[in-house]
Amino acid sequence: MKKNIFMAMFLVLVLASAVLAAPTNLALKKEYIVNREANPTYQDDAKLTDGVYSSAIRYSSPDFVGYNGQDPMIWIIDLKDVYKVDTVFANFLNEDGVGCLLPKMLSLVVSQDGKRWKAIDYQEYTEDDLPREGTYLNKYEFKIKGEKVRYVALKASSQFWLFIDEFEVIGDASSKEDASKGYSLDDLDFEEIDFDF
Ligand SMILES: [Ca+2]
């Protein structure tokens, strides 16, 4: 009988640790800042970390946020604490009929304190990789490989319109550590981050 109780407790512990270590979207409901405001017609009310992907592949879907202009865009997501992160996803729309085109250059950097940044990934795509024509989604993937991270910053080139509906930062929720002393999201300066372009 004692042995059964021990086995049951052991199983509960194994299951609990498996749940804690399961890959989690650490960006869910977290705050982020952007270097320029969304167009008022396609405005942002924390849509990019609400866990909702657009069910329609169309720029006018209310789940998309739209930015216009040719200057590159920068988003910085604050995980609030430091976690081991594996992968970042960013889901963009291509709809050439309305001038909404996928970014062809992307640079991802991370930081634990908002002061020192580490370049993680640079991606560049050709017209063959991501054709201008057509209406489709592309979910960009960036491998972080267990780096300890509080801030995730993504820079993306823009040709005219950029539409995006969600970021995900996948990592291990059980690896949570209190953030070291550093900048808060409000103190961060987009100009001081070294991106790859
Ligand atoms: Ca969303």
List, in order of start, the domains of the chain with CATH numbers: 24-192 (2.60.120.260)
CA dist list (Å): 39 to 43, 66, 139, 153, 163: 6, 6, 22, 21, 10
pLDDT at residue 13, as a whole number: 64
* 7 Cα–ligand 1 center, Å: 42
pLDDT at residue 90, as a whole number: 98
pLDDT of residue 78 exceeding 80, the answer is: yes
Summarize pLDDT for 134-155 with one digit per residue, the tens.
999 999 999 999 999 999 999 9
pLDDT-derived band at 32 (thresholds 50, 70, 90) equals: very high
Summarize pLDDT for 43-55 with one digit per residue, the tens.
999 999 999 999 9
pLDDT at residue 114, as a whole number: 96
* 111 Cα–ligand 1 center, Å: 23
* 65 Cα–ligand 1 center, Å: 9
* 13 Cα–ligand 1 center, Å: 34
3-state helix, strand, coil in the chain (%, to 5): 20, 45, 40
* 8 Cα–ligand 1 center, Å: 40
pLDDT at residue 81, as a whole number: 97
* 44 Cα–ligand 1 center, Å: 10
Q: In 3D, which of 91, 169, 175, 78 has the Cα closest to residue 137?
A: 91
